A and B are shown apart, each in its own frame.
Chain A
Amino acid sequence: MTDKKIMVHVQNLKKNFGKLEVLKDFSIDIEEGEVVVLLGPSGSGKSTFLRCLNQLEVATAGTIIIDGKDVTNKHTDINKIRENIGMVFQHFNLFPHKTVIENIMLAPVELKLMTKEEARKKGMELLKRVGMDTKADAYPSQLSGGQKQRVAIARALAMNPDIMLFDEPTSALDPEMVGEVLTVMKELARDGMTMVVVTHEIGFAREVADRIVFMDGGYIVEQGSPEEIINHPKEPRTIDFLNKVL
């Protein structure tokens, strides 16, 4: 465990929205290749933490170091760091005016990381990987929710990120489409991607997570392996939450 590289180092992170303290004192280290699942009731600060990692929410206080770079430092080029952090959203956020393949090609081409041909080739490979290569020229409005989310994952992967953030990726899906998205995520985890996942899918957490972090009220209540947290939780708040969702 100790010889692995630390990908994400978060220390004493605080985030306030006006007077509301959403993250109160949050510290965590995430290793390369680790899959961390954040569980907790709504309003516990899970999504806010995730959005702080790529500074979609600017941290109020504390330090976030990703792959050796200080994200919270004002002089850091945040766009450069975001290139290495993929994010998947609850509501997919595909670009509706662009086709599936254009969605994927946009950032790599605009940021001059790839030529159009390279980006298209890479995009098609990724679409094949998520089982969406037949829909490359479709528009997002022609896809089902599960299909949209798989495209969104491919879009994030096109940047060759070191870390993938998932913000409730299956919460907006019809139940029968949850499986297809989770399958893609499981494959990613198996391939060694560092992943931070906010989800309510306890089954996924149990199966895929290296570590589960249970949050409530802006703090980490407890963390540990799925076995420890789901089968043998110690804290009363964790037990209470799991009783409600299981």
Chain B
Amino acid sequence: MIQIIETYHSMLIGALGKTLLLTLTSLFFAMIIGMIFALMNVGRSRVFNCIGTVYVDAVRGVPLIVLAYFIYFGMPAGIKAMGVQDFRLSALQAGTIALAMNCGAYMAEIIRAGIQSVDKGQMEASRSLGLSYAKSMRLVVLPQAIRTMIPSIINQFIITLKDTSILSVIGFPELTNMGKNISGNTFKSLETWAIVGIMYMIVIVTLSKVAKRIERSLSRDR
């Protein structure tokens, strides 16, 4: 075990960095996707409601690994069939898209629930003062919704971080993929996967602790 750490520590740390990079970029886009589809879902327009629902149902109905294969292998093939030569997605790009789409669907549900948890009277009071729907949403409803959403959002962060391991199947050199390589080279599966597991655990437990703390401080000043 010591030997593996000695030999591979910089590669392992680098791979963990890749994992975090993938997580953070995906989360960034997932927040945007989630916000867009959540607003579509809570609005009055039937067309937007429908688009929002279809997106969330479709993405949640497909396993992440299938989504990743579809984007990494399927999409470039499709685009090539349409006559565009040389279209390629890197594993990072495809991985980010797949994770962002997946996480975005869950995020949309979290944000939708958060918005709907705010008393309807808040929107009505704001509208009665002459503020538009968009301004009321931004200034009155969302700031209140975000407080209730934070624990679920952090929880979703953790899930997404773990889901990056699935993207080892498209060859992105994140932590799990590195684990595969190391155990393949050294034939020491037990030690390798224990180390990889502990690395994930340290990051995630730290994150959950931070989440708990934020949650507690939020409920205190309420």
Contacts and interface: CB of A to CB of B under 8 A. Distances in A.
Interface of A: 54, 56, 79-83, 85-87, 89, 91, 93-97, 106-107, 110-111, 141, 152, 155-156, 159
B127 A56 contact: yes
B125 A110 contact: no
Contact of B121 (A54, A93, A110): A93
Q: Is the interface of B mostly helix, strand, loop or mixed?
A: helix
A94 B143 CA distance: 14
14 contacts: A56-B124, A81-B130, A82-B129, A87-B128, A89-B121, A91-B119, A91-B121, A93-B125, A95-B126, A95-B140, A107-B131, A110-B131, A110-B139, A111-B130
B135 interface: yes
B152 interface: no
A106 B129 contact: yes
B189 interface: no
B122 interface: yes
B132 interface: yes
A199 B222 CA distance: 31
B122 A95 contact: yes
B221 to A, nearest CB: 9
Interface string B130-147: 111001000110011001
B121 A107 contact: no
Interface residues of B, number: 19
Given A95-B125, A107-B126, 7 more contacts: A85-B128, A95-B122, A97-B143, A106-B139, A106-B140, A107-B131, A159-B129
A111 B131 CA distance: 7
Contacts, number: 60
Interface of B: 119, 121-122, 124-132, 135, 139-140, 143-144, 147, 222
Contacts of B143: 97
Contact of A156 (B121, B129, B147): B129
Contacts of A91: 119, 121
A124 B135 CA distance: 24
- Chain B CB within 10 Å — which of A91, A93, A94, A97 has the most? A93
Contacts of B147: 97
A58 to B, nearest CB: 10
Given A106-B139, A110-B135, A83 B130 contact: yes
A52 to B, nearest CB: 13
B145 to A, nearest CB: 10
A83 B139 CA distance: 17
A221 to B, nearest CB: 28
A87 to B, nearest CB: 4
Contacts of B131: 79, 106-107, 110-111
A32 B222 CA distance: 42
A81 B127 CA distance: 11
A89 B130 contact: no
Contact of B124 (A93, A106, A141, A152): A93
A165 B128 CA distance: 10
A94 to B, nearest CB: 8
Given A97-B143, A106-B139, A155 B121 contact: no
A93 B122 contact: yes
A88 B108 CA distance: 33
A82 B119 contact: no
A88 to B, nearest CB: 9
B178 to A, nearest CB: 44
A245 B129 CA distance: 33
B125 A82 contact: no
